[in-house]
A = this chain, B = another copy of it.
Amino acid sequence: MKLYSFFNSSTSYRVRIALALKGLEYDYQGINIRVGEQRSHHYSELNPSKGVPVLEGDDGFSLSQSLAIISYLDDICPEPRLVPAEPKLKARVLEVASAIAADMHPINNLRVLGYLTKELDVSDEQKRDWYRHWVAEGFTALEERLARHGYGDFCFGETPTLADVCLVPQVANAQRFGCDLSAYPRIMAVYEHCCRQAAFQQAEPSRQPDFAA
């Protein structure tokens, strides 16, 4: 398998965690989204959405969208399962994953922040406030959600799920933007527990071949 990834992309980071948890080997192809490599003719042939990540299977099946990729990996390589089979637990895991992947991440990703700067001429301070606003809104809800439904060292129990796979890159991203995360003790406890696991460590941005400080 081959993964098209950018070291600092949260969605790429999710897929790297999933691959590492499942112990799957893959070739790493860095796509530098800071300089627009995702818009090259060759890459947009691979992914019309012009984003990372893309997973290309050995059978030529190529797939974009991190949550679709992770669900596919769960189907073709079910151990360990990241989306639980039991309907209510599965629903809670997907609820947390969606709350991060739909309500938080898209509003603060590189292309949106770029539009704010280039098209709307917002200041660096306004852009920082924008970022922090959506993180605070999302994490306040997530903290409450985990307090109600979460249990164990991970979001849900003693094994990682798609919820943890989404949570870790979102926390790392918020830290990079200097957000104060002290109001989210449950989120941070899960994050720190995950960061002690080898698979999560292996997927970290700083350990990727295309890492640049």
- Chain A contact residues, CB within 8 Å of chain B: 48-51, 61, 63-69, 71-72, 75-76, 87-88, 90-92, 94-95, 97-99, 101-103, 105-107, 112, 115-116, 119-120, 122, 126, 129-130, 133, 138, 140-142, 144-145, 148
Q: Chain B residues with Cβ under 8 A from A112's Cβ?
A: 107
* Alpha-carbon distance between A87 and B148 when the two chains are bound, in angstroms: 33
Q: Is the CB of A48 within 8 A of B141?
A: yes
What distance in Å separates the Cβ of A39 from its nearest Cβ neighbour in chain B?
11
Q: Chain B residues with Cβ under 8 A from A126's Cβ?
A: 119-120
Q: Is the CB of B119 within 8 A of A94?
A: no
A49 and B94 in contact, given A102-B65, A103-B106 (Cβ under 8 angstroms): no
Partner of A63, one of B91, B119, B148: B91
A141 and B49 in contact, given A106-B106, A107-B106, A107-B112 (Cβ under 8 angstroms): yes
Q: Is the CB of A49 within 8 A of B87?
A: no
What distance in Å separates the Cβ of A101 from its nearest Cβ neighbour in chain B?
5
* Alpha-carbon distance between A26 and B99 when the two chains are bound, in angstroms: 24
* Alpha-carbon distance between A48 and B61 when the two chains are bound, in angstroms: 38
